[in-house]
A and B are shown apart, each in its own frame.
Chain A
Amino acid sequence: MKTIITPILAIVAVLSTLTSCNNSNNSGALSNNNAEKVYVAPGDHDSHYAFISGGFSGNLTVYGLPSGRLFKEIPVFSQFPTNGYGYSEETKPMFETSYGFVPWDDSHHPDISQTNGKLDGRWIFINGNNTPRIARISLTTFETEEIIEVPNSAGNHSSSFITENTEYVVAGTRFSVPVPQKDIPIKTYKGNFKGALSFISVDPEHGHMDIKFQILMPGFNYDLSHPGRGKSHGWFFFTTYNTEEANTLLEVNASQNDKDFIAAINWKKIEEYVKKGGGTMMPANYAHNVYDEHKHTATSTMKKEVRVVNPSEVPGAVYFIPTPKSPHGCDVDPSGEYIVGNGKLSANLTVHSFTKMLDAIENKKFAGEAYGIPILNFEDVLAGSVEQPGLGPLHTEFDGQGNAYTTFFISSEVVKWKLGTWEVIDRKPTYYSVGHLTIPGGNSAEPFGKYMFAMNKITKDRYLPTGPEMEHSAQLYDISGEKMELLLDFPTHGEPHYAAAIPAEIIKNNSRKIYRLDENQHEKKTLSGSDVKIVRDGKNVHIYMTMIRSHFAPDNIEGIKVGDKVFFHITNLEQDFDVPHGFAIIGANNAELLIAPGQTRTLTWEPKQVGVWPFYCTDFCSALHQEMQGYVRVSPTNSNIELSWSLGED
């Protein structure tokens, strides 16, 4: 035995030496005291919030930086049994769409609202990619307050990016489709399919969204977008691929053109045109779902028309900038001068100049046109290019110090380079195939620039293995020095598609701790134990219930019959931070509820079996949490037992 063990040990020893060589960066991190740089002592707060898209989870997660600790998952586009979002009667309307109830999505790009180009921390917006939708989340309650569906769109990918005063959130379609939808051969794609770029206005006070206009662009794929800012405020830039307008085997057929386009859109010009009545109202069908914080209830309205604009009707509003090659990210630097086209199949990284673009437009130096839209000359607009920085550039963000950071998917690295000189300053490997990266405020006119984190696309996990399916990961870098320094890996939930981050000070003092009972305007609220009642309306039974440590009122209910539809309208009477109560009942076919202090929620329960069935609180709320329970007696359909309830009687 010994003779076998020894060589094995030797091999292991050699391997571990090799591994430690490969991971020299890690031991370096320790020797550099990087552990201290991410350590947030118990009770201390992280300096930044990071809002990381959950990708296929449909949600948004909230992390702390630099610790990488997960604070919360905010349900947005996916039902969330944890608190009953999308199952309770109040939140079900959030999932209404023209396709009916769609309880899931693929959430991609969060973006924080801005005032004068700076993050103001009021709301965060995120797109649903599959069923085109844009959601607005309040950063005082950290709850989804509004979801608007986007008609004429498919694969809502080049979203949700925000202009510098949150005038508009855009929703650009990735897939072009027939507009309006119709039954036509797919082969007739070219020339017949359209790409809708939607400009959704945001009410400056309440944040309410409204689709102001859609630009019906040629049938390319619109991948990502970015607003202009500063001097380029009023413009929006969209990367395109498949300018070939292929409809099959796109990996080959959409990669033929040496250059695709960045579509430059003067939205102010189109806005003016629309204000004068330009464009046409087109029949449409899309849902607008709004959650009222005081009614604790969402309502869904179907809208029946949308204003569309044909770009050729507004001369001087839309131009194409040729950009190599199938560009993915489209990123504008904080000054608004440079537009970075991350040509994912290109060897070089292309940077356009906004000033040169205006100049070329002024002098009408066009290389041609596509569907009536002028195409500028590549050379006339080019500011410069970063030569051979890496393979497969995807996304670029900025630190506010004149540096840009680009992720390279194929070579798995982040490259820091200088705007203007285009020289590479530093490069660091990422241990995952990297997708997006985020610098707090890096998507605004004023980046905060202390940290950068890169998010993975493909995980060959560096953590303890958890089987073939695992969570994804992000890596945090310190970018305060000349060289980037890897500080931390931390797991993320779903695919961390993109993120927005912000200094904690801007948000944390506005964060709400309770809902005030005296502001509760829920139609079915019960504000005290003495207002409890049960009302039968045919087969529907409405139970107006309260919850407080450590009992429900009522806790004994009789007279319910098989075949009834029972609505538990439950109000949490607590006014104390972090005392939600849960409600769960045996045989519920939907979910439990988690009800925040001062909130009202309704769960529907359809008893199918005769018996006496318990309900209880699911969130440990006090020393007597286990005692927080009650019974519902369910009698046969033809029984004549009277509806009654009690609390505290024997």
Chain B
Amino acid sequence: MKKAGIIMIVGALLLLGLFKFPLWNIMLGAPQYPEPLGMNIYIHGIEGVEEFDLQNIDGLNHYIGMKTIPKAEDMWEFSVFPIVIVFMVVLGTVIGLLGYFQKLNYKYFLGWFLLMSVLGILGIYDFNNWLIDYGSNLDPNAIIKVTNPDGSPMSYKPPLIGYQKLLNFDVDSWPHLGGYLMFIGMTLTLVAFWAGRKASLKPTTQ
């Protein structure tokens, strides 16, 4: 159970990487952009991959009437997400410590994982909603209007994950370092659960 507790703590602490590294990254490349434009999505705001990328993405997007990329203060998510992450890190560490000192059942590890998964799914759901809004809630006075073959207005929603062609742009949307650290951390808490389970099953089989 000691080992499981340590793994649990490490797993929870890996979430702290989200304060340093981006959770997600979206790159926009095109033949006339030999150096693609990109945005890094942090839990506390959006930044350009290169210094002026956001300004230049906004400059392009205004033709089709997209809103400018939100500043941190424009979205409640960017003030709430850091609190949620700190809360989950503290909670995970406390659970891990209590597990380490045998004060608590390993099933709490799984509980933490499930809570984190629910929060994560809610986060992804929220992120996707934002992408839909960003890509389809266009200024009615937009300079250029593109329609789908069926006549409906075209959406410029970037893919939630993976690659997609948007007009002349190749758009790639993938987790970034902070996101990978979070996934590894969450996996570790699952490992902690299995390790804790194994440790607690041992005495009964002996």
User: What residues of chain A have their CB less than 8 Å away from a CB belonging to chain B?
Assistant: 43, 514, 548-549, 574-577, 622-624
Contacts and interface: CB of A to CB of B under 8 A. Distances in A.
A121 B25 CA distance: 36
B141 to A, nearest CB: 12
Contact of B56 (A576, A623, A624): A576
11 contacts: A43-B34, A514-B52, A574-B59, A575-B52, A575-B55, A575-B56, A576-B52, A576-B56, A576-B59, A623-B144, A624-B63
B34, B52, B143 interface centre (most CB from chain A within 10 Å): B52
A623 B34 CA distance: 19
Contacts of B35: 577
Interface string B137-180: 00000011000000000000000000000000000000000000
Contacts of B144: 623
Contacts of A548: 59
Interface of B: 34-35, 51-52, 55-56, 59, 63, 143-144
B55 A623 contact: no
Contact of A623 (B51, B52, B63): B63
B159 to A, nearest CB: 25
The 10 A-B residue pairs with the shortest CB-CB distance, nearest first, are A575-B52, A576-B56, A549-B59, A575-B55, A623-B63, A576-B52, A624-B143, A576-B59, A623-B144, A575-B56
B98 to A, nearest CB: 51
Nearest to B52: A575
A503 B51 CA distance: 29
Given A577-B35, A622-B63, 17 more contacts: A43-B34, A514-B52, A548-B59, A549-B59, A574-B59, A575-B51, A575-B52, A575-B55, A575-B56, A576-B52, A576-B55, A576-B56, A576-B59, A623-B143, A623-B144, A624-B63, A624-B143
Contacts of A576: 52, 55-56, 59
Main secondary structure of the interface of A (DSSP, over half): loop
A405 B111 CA distance: 81
Nearest to A573: B55
A310 to B, nearest CB: 56
A549 B63 CA distance: 10
A479 to B, nearest CB: 32
B127 to A, nearest CB: 27
A342 to B, nearest CB: 44
Contacts of A577: 35
Contacts of B56: 575-576
Contacts of A624: 63, 143
B94 to A, nearest CB: 45
Nearest to A548: B59
A624 B144 CA distance: 10
Contacts of B55: 575-576
B95 to A, nearest CB: 47
Contacts of A575: 51-52, 55-56
Nearest to A549: B59
B69 to A, nearest CB: 15
A623 B55 CA distance: 17
A306 to B, nearest CB: 45
B59, B143, B144 interface centre (most CB from chain A within 10 Å): B59
Nearest to A576: B56
Contacts of B34: 43
A43 B35 CA distance: 12
Contacts of B63: 622-624
Contacts of A574: 59
A411 B143 CA distance: 65
A624 B143 CA distance: 9
A43, A514, A549 interface centre (most CB from chain B within 10 Å): A549
Contacts of A623: 63, 143-144
A576 B35 CA distance: 11
Nearest to B37: A576
A43 B31 CA distance: 10
A514 B52 CA distance: 10
A43 B32 CA distance: 11
A218 B80 CA distance: 83
A577 B32 CA distance: 11
A622 B52 CA distance: 18
A215 to B, nearest CB: 50
A622 B63 CA distance: 10
A532 to B, nearest CB: 19
A547 B98 CA distance: 62
A506 to B, nearest CB: 21
B144 to A, nearest CB: 7
A576 B56 CA distance: 7
A628 B111 CA distance: 60
A536 B59 CA distance: 33
A576, A623, A624 interface centre (most CB from chain B within 10 Å): A576
A66 B36 CA distance: 28
Nearest to A624: B143
Contacts of A514: 52
A131 to B, nearest CB: 41
Contacts of B143: 623-624
Nearest to B34: A43
Nearest to B62: A549
A549 B34 CA distance: 20
A354 B59 CA distance: 62
A63 B51 CA distance: 30
A43 B55 CA distance: 26
Contacts of A43: 34
B34, B35, B56 interface centre (most CB from chain A within 10 Å): B56
A293 B34 CA distance: 27
Nearest to B53: A576
A575 B58 CA distance: 12
B28 to A, nearest CB: 13
A623 B51 CA distance: 24
A206 to B, nearest CB: 25
A575 B144 CA distance: 23
A176 to B, nearest CB: 53
Nearest to A575: B52
A577 B36 CA distance: 12
